[in-house]
Amino acid sequence: MDRQFRNALGVFALSLVAAGVAWAATARERSLAIYPAQNIPLRFDHAQHLEAGADCATCHDSVSKSEVARDRNLPAHPECETCHDIEAAQKGQKTDPPASCGTCHPGFDPTVRKEPAKLDLPPANLRFTHKVHLDKKVECVTCHGDMTKVTLATRQQLPKMATCFECHDGRAASNACTTCHLKEASGRLQLNFSSGILRPMQGDPLGLDHGPRYEFNHGSRAAVSRQLCSQCHSDSYCQKCHDSLQKPLSVHPNDYITLHPVQARTDAQRCESCHRLQSFCAACHERVGVGMDADPSLRPRNAKVHPDYATWVQIPGPQHHGIVASRDIRQCAACHREESCMSCHSELSQRQQVNPHPNGFANNCKKLAAANDRACLKCHSETSLAQKGCR
C-alpha cells in the first residue's frame, strides 16, 4: 500500500474517531437554544467558598424571591464585601481573605483601565421560578449538582431535562412541555432563538434524539407519538417533505434510480407516502422509456418487464396481466395510466374491445352503477349503459 495513501487513511480514521468523541460529548452538553453561550472572565472557586463555611444563600440570596428565568441571581460587590474587604484592598492594605481586583478579575489593573471585562451571561430561554422550587423544599444540589467539586460554575452546572423529569413526571409536577419551554402565539414551542435552534439532543429522556439520519426512523415514532411531535411541528412543516414537491437529498442514497425498483416492489406503501404513482412514477418512467405510453425511440431494447405476449395477454392463468393487476394494481400503475387499460377494455376505444368483466357481472352491474357510475362511464357511454340494462 502506498505510504501517502496509508497516511491519508490514518488521518481519515482519526477524524472519524474525533467526530465520534465530539458527538458523544453532546450527551453531556447543554442546548445553546436553552442556555446561550456565556463569557465569564472571572476567577472563582465554589469548592473553596463552601469549604470555608459559605452556603448557597450567602451569595445567591436573591433566588428566594426570583420568579423568572431572566433574573440575574449572581453576587455583586455588596455580597462579596461580606467577607472580602474590597475598600481596604483598594487602599493598598493587606486583607484576609484577599480582596484585590485581581483576586476575581484576572489581569485587571485599575490604574490602566477603569472597568474590568464584563460578564456575558444571557438568561435561559425557559419559564422558571426559583421561588416556587425553594418553597417546595427543592435543594440546590438537586438541580445544580455537587458544587463542592466545582471551581467556576458554567453552563455545565445548569440542569438538563433528565434532571427536571425526576420531579416533573406528570404526578409530582406537570410534565407538559410548555411548563418550562417558551411557546409561540400558535401554542407550539418556540424553536428558533438567536443562540440556536431547539431540538432534542443525544441523551434526551424522551428518546427523541434528532441526530443524523433521524429522518429515516422518525416515521414510526411520529405514528405513535403524534401529539408529542405536534408540540413543535405543524402539519405544514411535515408536508414540506411529504408532499413530494422537494425531496430532501438525504432520503435516498446515490444512484438510487438504479436501486429503487427493489424497494418499490417490496415496500410500495412507503414510497407512496411521498410519491404519487400516476403523477410521479408513471411520468418519470415514460420520460426514460419505461412505460407503455413512452416514446418508442426511448424504450430500452434489453429490458423485459412482462412474460411473453401469449402468457401475458392471451392465455388465462396465474401470469395473465389481469390476474397480476388484481393482486397488486400499484405495480401496474407505476408504468401504466388508466388510458393504457382503456385502449383495449373501453367501448369508447377505437381498438379491439376486450370485456374485462367476469361471467355473471351483468347481474350486478345495475346495483354497482347506481352506487357509483364514475368507473362505468370511464369505458361506457350513457346510451351503452341504458342498453345493457344498467340504468
179-201 pLDDT, tens digit per residue, is 999 999 999 999 999 999 999 98
Structure confidence by residue, pLDDT tens digits, 202-260: 888 888 899 877 887 888 888 888 899 999 999 888 888 777 666 666 778 778 888 88
Residue 202 included in any domain: no
**Residue in the block written with cell 402565539:** 185
Residue 60 included in any domain: yes
Averaged pLDDT, 254-282: 80
Question: 376 and 293: one domain?
Answer: no
Residue 246 included in any domain: no
Question: 322 and 354: one domain?
Answer: no
Question: 156 and 144: one domain?
Answer: yes
Rounded CA gap, 287 and 89, in Å? 84
Which of 159, 174, 189 marks a domain boundary? 174
Task: Identify whether the C-beta of residue 152 lies closer than 8 Å to the C-beta of residue 41.
Answer: no
Residue 273 included in any domain: yes
Cis amide leading into 97 (omega within 30): yes
Look up the pTM and report it. 0.62
pLDDT, the chain, mean: 84
Residue 222 included in any domain: no
Question: 151 and 93: one domain?
Answer: yes
Rounded CA gap, 378 and 366, in Å? 16
Rounded CA gap, 34 and 75, in Å? 23
Rounded CA gap, 325 and 8, in Å? 54
Question: 275 and 345: one domain?
Answer: no
In which domain, by residue range, is 131 found? 46-174
Question: 289 and 370: one domain?
Answer: no
Residue 215 included in any domain: no
SS3 44: coil
Report the alpha-carbon angle 369-370-375, nearest 5. Answer: 30
Instruction: Provide the pLDDT for residue 18.
Output: 40
Question: 147 and 170: one domain?
Answer: yes
Which of 174, 194, 226 marks a domain boundary? 174
Question: 52 and 121: one domain?
Answer: yes
Question: 169 and 61: one domain?
Answer: yes
Question: 285 and 299: one domain?
Answer: yes
Question: 91 and 161: one domain?
Answer: yes
